[in-house]
Structures are given as C-alpha cells and as structure tokens.
Amino acid sequence: MVAIRGIALSKSFHYHQVLNEISLEVKEGECYALFGPNGAGKTTLLRIFATLHRPSSGRFEILGRDGLGDRAKIREDLFLIGHGSYLYDDLSVVENIQFALGVRGGHPTDHEIKLALDRVGIGAFRKLKSRHLSAGMKKRLSIAKTLLIRPKILLLDEAYASLDERGVVMLNDCIREFAKEGSAILMTTHDRSRTAEVAHRAGVIQQSVLQEITIQEMLAADALF
C-alpha cells in the first residue's frame, strides 16, 4: 500500500517557486531518500507531508487520507525529526520525553523510556536538563522519541546531521527496524554511502523538479548535483 503520495505538488514563497509539480510515492515498509543541493526544496517537501506547509497547488495523501482535509487523523501516524529539537531547556531528558509523548496521548513507562534512551546511547544523561545536551545528543533524543511513538510515517530532515559514526549506525538500525515493521520513511540527506545502506529508492530535487534515480546510480555518480 502507498503510504505517502504526492500528486503534482508545487510550492512558492512569494514569487520564488521552490517545488514544481512534484509527484512522489513511498510505499509501506519502504525508505525513500531525497537528495538535492541546499535550497532545492527538500525540507519544504518534507514539511508539506508533515502538514506544516500547505502546497500552493497539487495534493497529497498519507495512508490514503487527504493531506489537506484530514490533517488531524494524519498527524496521529506521522513524526518529523526536523531541524528543531522540540525540547524545553529547563526540562530533563526524561521529562522532555514524557512531555512530548504525553501531549500526543502516549503513556510510556519509565522502563520503556530507559530502554529507548539506552538504545540511542544517552541513557546516562536522562536526568540532565536538555539545555546541556549537544546537538548530536538532541538528535539522539529525537530518535528515542521516535522509538517510543513508532510512527507509521517517519520524516527525517537531514537525517545524519550532528550524529557521530555510532549515531549514524544506530539511526540506520532504527530505520531498518521501522521499515521491517511496515513504516514508510522519507528522508533528506547528503550522505550517499550511509543512505545506500537503508534506502530502497532515491530521488534528486534540482531546479524545483524531482528526478528519481536508482541506488546504484546514486552511488556511482561522481556528483549528484
């Protein structure tokens, strides 16, 4: 089943066209990697699917639901790890997780939170206030939230940014696990070799349009753009 479907999506900011009639499908259990130069519109496309932006034209569906009309239902199934960490500086790591899940209606047990934090490698810092976390640790915290929410649609913006080598391996493990469980993953990245370990399909956004490429083409090219 198609989990994410974009149909002729266009987006303009004032007179600047960022996306031009982009169509894209990501099936359940599939990981789709989006490449493109800075400012190509990768984040904008992700934010449209995350229901944060409305497209200027075109439409999209998430798990068969209309992306513009059925936003409340769609939001139950998706989670975005974006540029923001969505953390509160004065709350501890555990409190931030409890809050992030609590406002969504989740009730993770202390044990579940501990397991998730241990898995992403920040279990030892669970009582630390998030203001003291590094960018990489904040990213790991976002991944821990994802592990507890287990969304059907996972959107990863600059997936590997701020993560160290072990962090990248851990994230790829998580992506494989989510895909195996049937989640659809749409990620933007610049790291082709790491992406090739988990991505099933890939595309390049350049000059506002999306061109699909195979994983082999992605790896073989000297430069994608």
Report the C-alpha gap between 78 and 65 in whole angstroms: 12
Question: Smaller CB distance to another protein: residue 73 or 150?
Answer: 73
Q: Does the protein bind another protein through residue 89 (CB under 8 A)?
A: yes
Q: Are 39 and 61 in contact (CB under 8 A)?
A: no
Q: Does the protein bind another protein through residue 100 (CB under 8 A)?
A: yes
31-35 vs 184-188, strand pairing mode: parallel
Residue 220, SS3 per DSSP = helix
Stretch that binds another protein, among 103-111, 116-124, 163-171, 174-182 (CB under 8 A): 103-111
Q: Are 63 and 70 in contact (CB under 8 A)?
A: no
Q: Are 2 and 26 in contact (CB under 8 A)?
A: yes
Q: Does the protein bind another protein through residue 128 (CB under 8 A)?
A: no
Q: Does the protein bind another protein through residue 88 (CB under 8 A)?
A: yes
Using CB under 8 A as the binding rule, the residues of this chain from 26 to 65 that contact another protein are 50-52
Stretch that binds another protein, among 2-10, 30-38, 62-70, 87-95 (CB under 8 A): 87-95
Q: Looking at residue 190, what DSSP letter applies?
A: S
Rule CB under 8 A: which residues touch another protein?
50-52, 71-73, 75-76, 78-80, 82-91, 95, 98-100, 102-105
